[in-house]
Structure 1
Amino acid sequence: MTTSRLRRIGRARHWAAIGTATVFAASLAACGSNAGAKGDDAPGTSDSSTDTSALASEVAALDKPLDSYSMPSEPIKNVSSLAGKTIYYIPITLQAPQFAATQKELTAAAEAAGLKVQVCDGKGTPTDINACVAQATSAKAAAIVTDAIPYGLAASSLGAAQKANIPVVINSQIIDNSHPASKTLAYVGENAGSDQQVALAKWTILDSEGKADLLINQNTDGPSQPAFVAAGKKVFASDCPGCKVTINGVSSANFSLVPSSTSAALLKDPNITYVQSQFEQFLQPTQAGIQSASKTGLKVITGAAELSSLKALQSGQIQAAAGQDGSYQAWADVDAVLRMMLGSTAPDYKIPVRLFTKDSVAGLTLTEAALASGEWFGPTSFTDDFKKLWGVA
Structure 2
Amino acid sequence: MTTSRLRRMGRVRRWSTAGAVAMFAASLAACGSNSDNTSGSQGADSSAATGTGSDTSALAGEVAALDKPLDAYPVPTDRIANVSSLARKTIYYIPITLQAPQFAATQKEITAAASAAGLKVQVCDGKGTPTDVNACIAQATSAKAGAIVTDAIPYGLAASSLGAAQKAKIPVVINNQVVDSGHPQSATLAYVGENAGPDQQVALAKWTILDSKGKADVLINQNTDGPSPAVFVSAGKKTFSGDCANCKVTVNEVSSANFSLVPSSTSAALLKDPNVTYVQSQFEQFLQPTQAGIQSASKTGVKVITGAAELSSLKALRSGQIAAASGQATSYQAWTDIDAVLRMMLGSQAPDYKIPVRLFTKDSVAGLKVTDAALASGEWFGPTTFTDDFKKLWGVA
Name the CA shift for 1:343/1:215 in 2 (closer, same or farther; >3 Å).
Answer: same
1:154 aligns with 2:155: no
Give the secondary-structure state (helix, strand or coil) at the position aligned to 1:286.
Answer: helix
Per the alignment, residue 304 of structure 1 pairs with 308
Residue ranges of structure 1 left out of the alignment (5+ in a row): 1-9, 26-34
Per the alignment, residue 79 of structure 1 pairs with 83
In 1, Cα distance between equivalents of 2:158 and 2:181: 15
Q: CA deviation at 1:108?
A: 0.6
In 1, Cα distance between equivalents of 2:110 and 2:92: 10
1:201 aligns with 2:205: yes
- RMSD (CA atoms): 1.8
Q: TM-score, normalised by structure 2?
A: 0.90
Match of 1:39 among 36, 41, 44: 44
In 2, Cα distance between equivalents of 1:349 and 1:143: 18
Match of 1:374 among 365, 375, 378: 378
In 2, Cα distance between equivalents of 1:305 and 1:187: 21
Match of 1:247 among 248, 251, 255: 251
User: Do the aligned partners of 2:192 and 2:337 also contact (CA within 8 Å) in 1?
Assistant: yes
Per the alignment, residue 113 of structure 1 pairs with 117
Q: CA deviation at 1:69?
A: 1.1
Q: Over residues 97-121 of structure 1, what are the superposed CA-to-partner deviations in whole Å (9 max), with x where a residue is unaligned?
A: 2212211111110010000011111
Q: CA deviation at 1:241?
A: 1.2
Per the alignment, residue 4 of structure 1 pairs with none
In 2, Cα distance between equivalents of 1:44 and 1:366: 35
Q: TM-score, normalised by structure 1?
A: 0.90
Q: CA deviation at 1:366?
A: 1.0
Q: CA deviation at 1:53?
A: 2.7
Match of 1:293 among 294, 297, 319: 297
1:268 aligns with 2:272: yes
Q: Over residues 117-162 of structure 1, what are the superposed CA-to-partner deviations in whole Å (9 max), with x where a residue is unaligned?
A: 1111111111111111111111111100000001111111101110
User: Do the aligned partners of 2:150 and 2:173 also contact (CA within 8 Å) in 1?
Assistant: yes
User: Do the aligned partners of 1:80 and 1:113 also contact (CA within 8 Å) in 2?
Assistant: yes
1:142 aligns with 2:146: yes
Output the amino acid matched with 1:179.
H
Q: Which moves more between the two structures, 56-65 or 127-136?
A: 127-136
Give the secondary-structure state (helix, strand or coil) at the position aligned to 1:76.
Answer: coil
In 2, Cα distance between equivalents of 1:237 and 1:13: 28
In 1, Cα distance between equivalents of 2:239 and 2:356: 20
Q: Over residues 323-379 of structure 1, what are the superposed CA-to-partner deviations in whole Å (9 max), with x where a residue is unaligned?
A: 011000000000000000000000011111100001111111111111111111011
1:323 aligns with 2:323: no
Output the amino acid matched with 1:350.
K
Output the amino acid matched with 1:311.
K
Give the secondary-structure state (helix, strand or coil) at the position aligned to 1:39.
Answer: strand
Q: Over residues 22-43 of structure 1, what are the superposed CA-to-partner deviations in whole Å (9 max), with x where a residue is unaligned?
A: 9xx8xxxxxxxxx87x322222
Q: CA deviation at 1:51?
A: 4.2
Output the amino acid matched with 2:362.
K
User: Do the aligned partners of 2:52 and 2:243 also contact (CA within 8 Å) in 1?
Assistant: no
Q: Over residues 203-241 of structure 1, what are the superposed CA-to-partner deviations in whole Å (9 max), with x where a residue is unaligned?
A: 000001111000000011221111001110110111111
Output the amino acid matched with 2:226.
G
Output the amino acid matched with 2:240.
F
In 1, Cα distance between equivalents of 2:113 and 2:78: 18
User: Do the aligned partners of 1:150 and 1:222 also contact (CA within 8 Å) in 2?
Assistant: no
In 1, Cα distance between equivalents of 2:85 and 2:33: 43
In 1, Cα distance between equivalents of 2:112 and 2:396: 13
Output the amino acid matched with 1:286.
T
Per the alignment, residue 356 of structure 2 pairs with 352
Q: Over residues 231-252 of structure 1, what are the superposed CA-to-partner deviations in whole Å (9 max), with x where a residue is unaligned?
A: 1011011111111100011111
Output the amino acid matched with 2:244.
C
Match of 1:337 among 341, 344, 356: 341
Identity of paired residues, percent?
Answer: 80
Give the secondary-structure state (helix, strand or coil) at the position aligned to 1:275.
Answer: strand
Aligned residues: 368
Per the alignment, residue 227 of structure 2 pairs with 223
Per the alignment, residue 52 of structure 1 pairs with 56
1:386 aligns with 2:390: yes
Match of 2:242 among 233, 238, 244: 238
User: Do the aligned partners of 1:42 and 1:237 also contact (CA within 8 Å) in 2?
Assistant: no
In 2, Cα distance between equivalents of 1:182 and 1:391: 25
Q: CA deviation at 1:48?
A: 8.2
User: Do the aligned partners of 2:45 and 2:250 also contact (CA within 8 Å) in 1?
Assistant: yes
Q: Over residues 79-107 of structure 1, what are the superposed CA-to-partner deviations in whole Å (9 max), with x where a residue is unaligned?
A: 00000000011100111122122111111
1:93 aligns with 2:97: yes
